[in-house]
Each structure stands twice: as C-alpha cells, then as structure tokens.
Structure 1
Amino acid sequence: MNPLQKLQVFLNNPINKIGKVVDFEPSTATLLPFDFTANNSELTTEILANTNFFSLWVDEKLAKNNAKYGIGGYNEHRTIYSRSAHFDTVEEPRRLHLGIDIWGPAETPIYNFYDAKVHSFHFNNNFGDYGATVILQYQLDDLTLYALYGHLSLASLTGLQEGQFIPRGKHFASFGIAAENGYWPPHLHFQLMFDMEGKKGDYPGVCQFSNREVYLQNCPDPKLILQHTFTSALP
C-alpha cells in the first residue's frame, strides 16, 4: 500500500480514535467556506495589502453568516499570496495551497488529534509566513505522518522540546495575533505530510502550480483528519 492508502486504512478502523483539532459542536455551530481564488472579487488589492483591513473582512464575513469558523483552501489556487513577496520566485510564483485553513479569533484553542511527539518548531517571522509553527509526528501503525500547525501564538512555543510527547486531546497551541502569525488574520494552517524532506520547523504550505502533483502526493487532504472535528458540517 502507498502512504495514502495506509492512512485511510488506519483512519477507517474504529479502534483508532481520532480527536478534535478545534472546539466545534455541529448541532449549534456553522462553518463558512472561504474562497480565496480569483473568483473572489471582494478581496481587493487594498484589503489584501493591509492586515487590519483583511482581518476586518474575515470578521465581518463570519459575523454576517453566524459562523464560528471560516474554512477551506486545500488544493486551492489562491490569489491572496500576491500580498507577500515571500511567495514569489523568479521562475513562477507559489500560489497553490497545500493545507486547510480554519479562520477564527486569536487565542482559539488547538488540540492534538492523536498521540504524537514534537518533531520541530520555529518562529517563521516573515511577512506572509507561518509565524509561530509546530510540527507534530504521528506513528499510525507502520505509517509515519506529520502535521504542521501554522500561524500560532508565540506562547504556543513556550516550553516545547523536540521529542516531547503530546497526548491525544491536549490543548497544546492557540491561534496567534497578526504580530505572531506572519501578519495574517487569525487562523490555523493545518497541513499533513508523509515526508518532511529533512526540514525542521517549516515545510512549504504553498507551492508552484507546476509542482502540484508532487506536493499533493506528499501532502494528503487534511479533511481526512478534520472530518472527525467537523463531521457533516465540513464542506
């Protein structure tokens, strides 16, 4: 079996209890799908260039739709990355998103969905980058899986050590404010990887479209995990 098949087999076994990533009660709360492609004409250059304006846009969307979180982004070709030179390269800009974003208030608690150990962590402090970042390593039978949690609060990194055990269900991190999360509206970037490719504290969350197939093969859809948090509410 390839890594994706192994992951699916593990997750489909009811013995393996997958926990939540954020607090959510499907019977009372709503998720709002966000579209950050060129189809979203509301997000003007002026809004994207100013983190406060962008944050206000997110907050207003959530409030108008009575939504607890905004969500989306996996395999999405996003225009919003034009706001930061961090995603530009000489050959081809990086625009394809490899994780799922959960947009909500700063300090929103983040929980570990399964027993893991800390692989690495880092404060990626560039405009448009992850800001405070934690990568956890999971051993799922004979499959090693990594999960990147980006745009965290700086406090989320306090006291962490590589190799530290993080049990299932532990509140181990929180959404960061703009000054701590790479200057974005508060949200969690949640991404899965089969191979860290030797990287620590960081892994591309956005790739060039020409490299789409290579990266998607290594970065499966986080919905496989998040469906256990959001159940039928997940788009």
Structure 2
Amino acid sequence: MDASARLAAALKAYPPNISKVVDFDETKDRLYQFDLTKNNTELSFEVVNDVAKFSHWVDEKLADNNCRYGIGGYMELRTIYDNREQFETSGEQRQLHLGVDIWADACTPVYAPLDGVVHSFQDNAHFGDYGPTIILKHQLGKLTFYSLYGHLNRECLTDLSVGKAIKSGQHIANFGTAEVNGGWPPHLHFQLMLDMEGMVGDYPGACRNSDKTKYLQNIPDSALLLKFPPAING
C-alpha cells in the first residue's frame, strides 16, 4: 500500500475536521492548472530564471483565466529546476516535484487543515529553496504524518515553538514575497510526509525521477486534504 492509500484509509477510518488551506470559495473562485513540465514551451530559460518575468507569467495566466488561485505539481516532472544549484545532484537532476503548489498573491493567508502540533520550522534561506518553512505533525488513529508549508512570510516563524498545538483552520502564515521565499513567484508549497526521516525544518520537495517509487511510499497526494474542485487546464 503506497502513502496515498495509507492516508486515504486513515482519513476514512478516523474522519477528521478538515479545514481549508487557503481562502478558496468554490462559489466564486476558479482554479487554474499550471503545467511546469517540458510540454510548456512558454516557460523558456529566460523566463524561469528571472523571478520578475516568471511572476508576471504566473499573474498573467491567472488573470487571463479569471482565476484567483493556480495549482499543480504532485509527482510532476519539471524542467524549471534545471540549472538551479539547489536541485543538482551527482548525475541525475532532481526534477520530480513531490508536493502541490498553490499559486496566488503574496500575503495570501495559509491555514492548517487539521489539528496538530508544530514539528519544526526554519528559514531555508537559499536561492531556489523553501524560504520560511513550517512543518506540522498530525495523528489519525495509529497513523502519524506531517504537513509541510514552504515559501512563507518570514514573520510567521516568530511566534512558533516545537510542540505548540495548532487547531484545524488556524491561520499559521502568509505567502511570502520573492525576496524572502527562495526567489520564486508567490506560492505555497504544500506537502505531506509519513516519515520525516530525521529531518528538521526541511524535507525535499523534489527528487530524482529514478527515486519516484521510493517517494510514493512516503509522500501522499496532498489533494487528499485540499477541498478544491477540478481546475481549468493550462
């Protein structure tokens, strides 16, 4: 049983109070599906490696499609990580995205979808990294799992402590600007893990494609906790 199946089973057996992650209103908000694979020929090296141009491209796609939010990324093989030192390994590049990205304006509020406690937090302040990051620990019956929130505002880290109780629906952060979020257009990297593998304040958000089978055993599909309707295809 892979990670998504294990979490789905726990959610069914111990149905929790799942809250929003962002202020998405299904009655009026639309969701745009971003494609950040090699099939998207609009994303040239020049665009992806210039945060202002990349941000403009994201904003334009959302505006043209009358969408407040964009989404995408779970197990998506992305070429936008090429030539970024953060994703280089010896040999094969880390191109497989493990979480779900939610794209919206800077300062967009972020909420905890479930009760939990703060596992860890830190500012991963390197170009191409998460920037300010929060990781929460959750319990559903016998299943322990974790939720990661990356590319946040720096101020969200000031009132946290390891073990602090967090309630479902609690406002925990805002989307950070490109100046603090690792150099990306404003968005939230939302990811679930069954095992933190001893890591604190950080966990890989991308892996080598050859390691996909391994990570499917640890990284559930974040859509299991997101209350989003089908997105408009990009």
Which residue of the partner structure matches residue 153 of structure 1? 153
Paired AA for residue 192 in structure 1: L
Report SS of the residue matched to 2:156.
helix
Which residue of the partner structure matches residue 31 of structure 1? 31
**Is residue 10–residue 16 contact of structure 1 (8 Å, CA) maintained in 2?**
no
**Which runs of structure 2 are paired with 1:65-214 in the superposition (5 Å)?**
65-214=65-214
Report SS of the residue matched to 1:155.
helix
Paired AA for residue 192 in structure 2: L
- Separation in 1 of the partners of 2:64 and 2:127? 28
**Is residue 31–residue 70 contact of structure 1 (8 Å, CA) maintained in 2?**
yes
Report SS of the residue matched to 1:152.
coil
Kindly report the root-mean-square deviation, in angstroms, between the aligned alpha carbons of the 2 structures: 1.6
Cα gap change, 1:135/1:14 in structure 2, threshold over 3 Å: closer, same or farther? closer
- Separation in 1 of the partners of 2:139 and 2:15? 15
Identity of aligned residues (%): 53
Report SS of the residue matched to 1:17.
coil
Q: CA deviation at 1:153?
A: 0.5
Cα gap change, 1:17/1:47 in structure 2, threshold over 3 Å: closer, same or farther? same
Paired AA for residue 178 in structure 1: A
- Separation in 2 of the partners of 1:145 and 1:217? 12
Paired AA for residue 59 in structure 1: D
1:109-149 residue CA offsets vs partner (Å, 9 max, x unmatched): 01111111000001001110000000000011111010110
**Is residue 135–residue 149 contact of structure 1 (8 Å, CA) maintained in 2?**
yes
**Is residue 19–residue 113 contact of structure 2 (8 Å, CA) maintained in 1?**
yes
Report SS of the residue matched to 1:12.
helix
TM-score normalised by L of structure 2 = 0.95
Paired AA for residue 39 in structure 1: N
Tell which has more relative contact order, 1 or 2 (C-alpha 8 A, sep 6+): 2
Paired AA for residue 208 in structure 1: R
**Is residue 132–residue 153 contact of structure 1 (8 Å, CA) maintained in 2?**
yes
1:176-219 residue CA offsets vs partner (Å, 9 max, x unmatched): 00111100000000000000000000000000011111012100
TM-score normalised by L of structure 1 = 0.94
**Is residue 136–residue 147 contact of structure 2 (8 Å, CA) maintained in 1?**
yes
**Is residue 99–residue 190 contact of structure 1 (8 Å, CA) maintained in 2?**
yes
Cα gap change, 1:12/1:84 in structure 2, threshold over 3 Å: closer, same or farther? same
Report SS of the residue matched to 1:169.
coil
- Separation in 1 of the partners of 2:62 and 2:94? 27
**Is residue 31–residue 230 contact of structure 2 (8 Å, CA) maintained in 1?**
no
Give the paired residue count: 233
Report SS of the residue matched to 1:190.
strand
Report SS of the residue matched to 2:27.
coil
- Separation in 2 of the partners of 1:9 and 1:22? 24
- Separation in 1 of the partners of 2:204 and 2:5? 23
The answer for unaligned runs of 5 or more in structure 2 is: none
The answer for unaligned runs of 5 or more in structure 1 is: none
Bigger helix share:
1
